[in-house]
Structure 1
Amino acid sequence: MQAFIQALPDQYKCSSAVEAYRGYYLKEKMRFAKWENGREAPDWIICYTIPQL
């Protein structure tokens, strides 16, 4: 399978396109993220933003 092109700043690029975009959205795009109509944030966002006790 062909690798996905990562169209984001170099500082976020890594071998996993999914991890690269998650990091990018967590650090650069969370200011406009919101979930409505009873929807919850995706699990990966919750795991990264809430420290594990």
Structure 2
Amino acid sequence: MFESTHEPTTDQLNSTSLKWGNDGELSELDLQRILGLLSQVDPVAEALMEGRSEAA
């Protein structure tokens, strides 16, 4: 009965699209975001984050 006049907006921080490079690798930003979320619940992912920061 009610029609929404509100246009949906895309929140860039909550976007579910991932960016991939020409080499088939996930973009560094998306990889960091995924590992950051995983590290909150998985100690193995947390170790991966630590290893990436040391390599940079």
| TM superposition score normalised by structure 2 | 0.30
| TM superposition score normalised by structure 1 | 0.31
Structure 1 or 2, whichever has the larger Rg, is 2
Higher relative contact order by CA 8 Å / sep ≥ 6: 1 or 2? 1
